[in-house]
Structure 1
């Protein structure tokens, strides 16, 4: 007796996709720019990019941290002629970051990948935030991501190629006690990522939103100083991830070619 099994085409397509090895983009000899690249996740991404043969530029404000990170990134290089540079600039200043991005295109070469890692968290109940605290979080987390993206898009469109990574957070997906203002900024990054993904797809520009959990970085240590007890209890239940682990996953996801 002959039994015919009919398998829906979408299931066959899904199985094929799962079994087919993922193709990835290559950043060897290409220019990767990382904001917030002097410490934490950004620094780890920069080191990984250097190990993949990329020319790496890190952007932050603190000159001392930039200098130290630049030396560590150079030690990770696989070619003698890799270009590793650093720029001290406030990414939340639109004119300043646009000016520096233009300079980098000319001095180091066309930017192929922008990784936005600049960010910070201040915790507290919403009514306890003053105007300065609110503006600081919006400037660093939202505008500090928006302005570098605006700066690279024209050239990316012109070249019909490029990669943009935004670093959100687990609270990009859900609010949490004590994170009212910070979560609002990270929700905004999610909206930005989803919107520009659609705007840039026709130009062969990929957009990735990274959603790291609590990560063991200098910024996290500062964040803990302002956490209400309720927030600490919630955070402790989720554990703490190392920045190297987050950076590896971030870069891996950003380089995957989506069919």
Structure 2
């Protein structure tokens, strides 16, 4: 991470009061960036406010509400001036069998993960286009690179973020804006802790949550990738392999996943029979 890139730059971070967003916020404020965090008005946001950093504004906003996003960005502009970078980290995950997820679950994932990203980027675009050196960085997921059993709500929303990132990169390159998609695996955050107890056995076989990357590791990689204008950032060696195999040998990845799922189901059925 190069502090000179960020020093004095107004950066908007959604979901910046916890997880990867908080790690990014801490790195950015230390580097001298002028940071506006968009977060729900909860205990995490209140704790961040209590730090009382002169280069940090915490603006309460539900990213699913375009008006709240616009108001929060205005609060940031009033304190820090023109927005030069946007980093979207706000997101949710609720794993489960697709037929057991509610319509509300499916819609909420799209509203927060995809439309929350979209609303923020759209309302910051006039600033970014005026600077001719703006950056947009959006967190998708490794589950936005390949579909994953048990992520029937989460994975499609992250694929949508990936598609948005790829379109934005092409459209706004002529305006001097770089766009970076971030595709992390399991990360040691409150969100991961919350989803572990909801994972079906087949998903645990594919992604058991062991040895997750730290939020700081992902934030470091994300900010460095943004500095260099990379189209994608894929933290973690295993995730890089998955990305390569998904593109070069998709049949191999499908066979591996099917095998893991079959083993998990057979184990579950055997356990039921013994019981």
**TM-score (normalizing by structure 2):** 0.79
Secondary structure of residue in 2 paired with 1:120: coil
Secondary structure of residue in 1 paired with 2:146: coil
* 1:122, distance to aligned residue in structure 2 (A): 0.6
- Counterpart position of 2:236: none
Alignment of 1:54-133 (within 5 A): 54-71=33-50, 74=53, 82-133=54-105
- Counterpart position of 2:264: none
Question: Per the alignment, do residues 212 and 70 of structure 1 end up closer, same or farther by CA in structure 2, a change over 3 Å counting?
Answer: farther
Does structure 2 retain, via aligned residues, the 8 Å contact 1:23–1:256? no
Give me the whole-angstrom Cα distance separating, in 2, the residues matched to 1:169 and 1:106: 33
- Counterpart position of 1:179: 151
* 1:159, distance to aligned residue in structure 2 (A): 2.5
- Counterpart position of 1:202: 174
* Larger relative contact order (CA 8 Å, sep ≥ 6): 1
The runs of at least 4 consecutive aligned structure 1 residues that moved more than 6 Å come to 22-25
Give me the whole-angstrom Cα distance separating, in 2, the residues matched to 1:59 and 1:165: 15
For the pair shown, which has the larger CA radius of gyration, 1 or 2?
Answer: 1
* 1:30, distance to aligned residue in structure 2 (A): 1.4
- Counterpart position of 1:4: none
Does structure 2 retain, via aligned residues, the 8 Å contact 1:120–1:141? yes
Return 95-104 or 179-188, whichever deviates more: 95-104
**TM-score (normalizing by structure 1):** 0.83
Give me the whole-angstrom Cα distance separating, in 1, the residues matched to 2:43 and 2:12: 19
Count of matched residue pairs: 230
Match for residue 140 of structure 1 among 112, 123, 127: 112
Give me the whole-angstrom Cα distance separating, in 2, the residues matched to 1:63 and 1:30: 26
- Counterpart position of 1:79: none
Aligned alpha-carbon RMSD (Å)? 2.0
Question: Per the alignment, do residues 122 and 257 of structure 1 end up closer, same or farther by CA in structure 2, a change over 3 Å counting?
Answer: closer
Does structure 1 retain, via aligned residues, the 8 Å contact 2:196–2:209? no
* 1:62, distance to aligned residue in structure 2 (A): 3.1
Q: Could you report, residue by residue, the CA deviation over 1:102-134 in whole angstroms, capped at 9, with x for unpaired residues?
A: 332133211111110000101111111111111
- Counterpart position of 2:15: 36
- Counterpart position of 2:208: 236
Secondary structure of residue in 2 paired with 1:105: helix
* 1:186, distance to aligned residue in structure 2 (A): 0.5
Does structure 1 retain, via aligned residues, the 8 Å contact 2:180–2:226? yes
Question: Per the alignment, do residues 127 and 72 of structure 1 end up closer, same or farther by CA in structure 2, a change over 3 Å counting?
Answer: same
Give me the whole-angstrom Cα distance separating, in 1, the residues matched to 2:145 and 2:3: 27
Unaligned 5+ segments in structure 2 are: 231-275
- Counterpart position of 2:25: 46
Does structure 1 retain, via aligned residues, the 8 Å contact 2:69–2:120? yes
- Counterpart position of 1:253: 225
Question: Per the alignment, do residues 125 and 53 of structure 1 end up closer, same or farther by CA in structure 2, a change over 3 Å counting?
Answer: same
